[in-house]
Amino acid sequence: MSQPGFQDAKREQNGMLASTERQALLWMAARLPAFIHSDHLTSLGFLAMLAAGVAYACSLSNSLFLHAVNLCLLLNWVGDSLDGTLARYRNRLRPRYGFYVDHILDTFSMSFLFGGLALSGYMSPKVVAFVLIAYFMLCINVYLATYTLGTFRISFGKFSPTELRLLLAIGNLALLYKPTVHILGGKYLLFDIGGAIAALLMVGILIASTARNIQVLYNAERFS
């Protein structure tokens, strides 16, 4: 139950799979045994992402571990997406606790996931660092906007964490067959190209979102 005097932020999610995902999560929430709680699902999502990082590191010696990464991404989706849905379905809401725990664990899990990816040899450490810096800067912007504007944006455009997990899983399957690409006579890691593009897109989204948020806040608190 929400705490008196605390106003939970409005959730905004417009991903391509948002409607289908919402129905699937509600279907699962209605059928989960009573002894399974949101904290169990949060732990599942976190541990699955840690396991994905380990599987990435192991893929250096055996590419078949990429299948294990994809399985872990699926388990992470179940845990990370279903915990909040279950809390709302059962009216067992802890908005401040849930928001803090979910996102501080995301910080650790993403660091571990990309750390494993850097060890896998499928993405160079410099590109991993670029992607992580862009990702964390975008997250900081989202959290600041949640506090100042009262809206928690889960997606940007048509992409939310669910779509990003799916793209990463597809990329992992592509690595099994073509881990490198040739561009303008040069040979590059497939995930270096994908990671650089993803990081640049995140930086672009960050700049546009920052400009929009500053304008909205300036207009809301303009001196007469």
Q: Is residue 127 part of a domain?
A: yes
Residue 124 has pLDDT above 70, yes or no: yes
- Number of separate domains in the chain: 1
* Contact in structure between 162 and 17 (CB atoms under 8 Å): yes
Q: pLDDT, tens digit, for every residue of 186-203?
A: 999 999 999 999 999 999
Q: Is residue 2 part of a domain?
A: no
Q: What residue numbers bound the domain in which 174 lies?
A: 13-220
> 11 phi and psi, to 5 degrees?
-90, 135
Q: Is residue 5 part of a domain?
A: no
Tokens representing 200? 């640049």
pTM, two decimals, is 0.90
Question: Which stretches of the chain are assigned E, i.e. beta strand?
Answer: 10-12, 151-153, 180-183, 186-189
Pairing of strands 180-183, 186-189: antiparallel
| Nearest in space to 198 (alpha carbons), one of 132, 145, 154, 111 | 132
Q: Is residue 7 part of a domain?
A: no
**What CATH number is associated with residue 199?**
1.20.120.1760
Q: pLDDT, tens digit, for every residue of 83-121?
A: 999 999 999 989 899 899 999 999 999 999 999 999 999
Q: Is residue 118 part of a domain?
A: yes
The residue-averaged pLDDT of 131-149 equals: 94
Q: Is residue 215 part of a domain?
A: yes
Q: Is residue 182 part of a domain?
A: yes
